[in-house]
Chains A and B, each alone.
Chain A
Amino acid sequence: QKEVEQDPGPLSVPEGAIVSLNCTYSNSAFQYFMWYRQYSRKGPELLMYTYSSGNKEDGRFTAQVDKSSKYISLFIRDSQPSDSATYLCAMSGFGQNFVFGPGTRLSVLP
C-alpha cells in the first residue's frame, strides 16, 4: 500500500459543477496537508495548506482534513474550464519532507 493514494482520474465535469477531489493516507504522523494544482508542462503551484484537522476555505476552494479517517478532500465550487489541471495532494509530519499523491486529472468542460 502506498503512503498516499489518490484516484488518478481523469475526472470530467461540466462548467459550474462542484468538484470533489480526495486523498487517503496511511501514516498517522502526517499533520500538514497541502493541495497543489499542476497545469500541463508547468510546475505544481500551492492552492491550499492546512494544519491538522478541520476545514479551510479560500474563494471557490475548500480543503477538509479528517485525520480520524486519514482522508483529505478538496472541493471546487463553480468550476471553470481554467480549473482543468492535475491536482496533487501532499502531506508531511513534523520535520519531514512532503509525500505527494499521484494526482487527479480534472477536465472542466465548457
Chain B
Amino acid sequence: EAGVVQSPRYKIIEKKQPVAFWCNPISGHNTLYWYLQNLGQGPELLIRYENEEAVDDSQLPKDRFSAERLKGVDSTLKIQPAELGDSAVYLCASSLGYWLAGDTYNEQFFGPGTRLTVL
C-alpha cells in the first residue's frame, strides 16, 4: 500500500515569492493534517481536515498561509508571500479518522515532507 505522498520534496524560492505544497493521503483516510517542522524541533500542527472541512486551523497564519482539500482527498498548502522564517519542513499526515475517536486510536501516517528554503 502506498504511503502519504508529498511533492515537491525540496523547494528553494526567494522571499516574497509564492509557493505551494501538495499532499496525497493514504487511500481511504478521511483525516488529513499539515504540520510545520523547524530544524531541531518537533512537528507543530498547522491545520486538520476531516474530509473536505478544515476543522482545526487555529495555528495556521492566515495572513500568508492557505490550504484546501477540495474533494476530500488530496490537499494543497500555499504560502504567499514567503518570508525567510518560513524555511522549514512541511509534513503532511493522514489517518482513518481523528487520531482519537472514542476509545479507538487512529494512527497518523506521515509523508516524507517538503523541505522549503527561502532565500
Interface residues of A (CB under 8 A from B): 4, 8, 32, 41-46, 49, 51, 88, 90, 92, 94-95, 97-103
Residue from B48, B111, B112 within 8 A of A97 (CB atoms): B48
Tell me if B99 and A41 are in contact (CB < 8 A). no
On chain B, the residues within 8 Å of A102 by CB distance are: 40-42
Most A-side CB within 10 Å, residue of B40, B99, B105 = B99
Tell me if B43 and A44 are in contact (CB < 8 A). yes
Tell me if A100 and B44 are in contact (CB < 8 A). yes
A41-B112, A45-B109 known; 5 other A-B pairs, CB under 8 Å?
A: A43-B93, A46-B107, A51-B105, A97-B45, A98-B45
Tell me if A32 and B100 are in contact (CB < 8 A). yes
Residue from A43, A90, A103 within 8 A of B40 (CB atoms): A103
Given contacts A43-B91, A43-B93, A49-B105, contact A95 B100 (CB under 8 A): yes
Interface range on chain B: under 10, 10 to 19, 20 to 34, or 35 or more?
20 to 34
Tell me if B45 and A42 are in contact (CB < 8 A). no
Min C-beta distance of B1 to chain A, whole Å: 14
Given contacts A42-B112, A97-B48, contact A8 B42 (CB under 8 A): no
On chain A, the residues within 8 Å of B109 by CB distance are: 45
Min C-beta distance of A72 to chain B, whole Å: 14
On chain B, the residues within 8 Å of A32 by CB distance are: 100, 105
On chain A, the residues within 8 Å of B45 by CB distance are: 97-98
Min C-beta distance of B19 to chain A, whole Å: 19
Provide the bound-state CA to CA distance between A97 and B4, in Å. 20
Chain A: which residue is nearest B58 at the CB level? Answer: A97
Provide the bound-state CA to CA distance between A42 and B112, in Å. 4
On chain A, the residues within 8 Å of B41 by CB distance are: 100, 102-103
Provide the bound-state CA to CA distance between A101 and B56, in Å. 21
Tell me if A101 and B42 are in contact (CB < 8 A). yes
B72-99 vs A, CB cutoff 8 Å, 1 = contact: the mask equals 0000000000000000000101000001
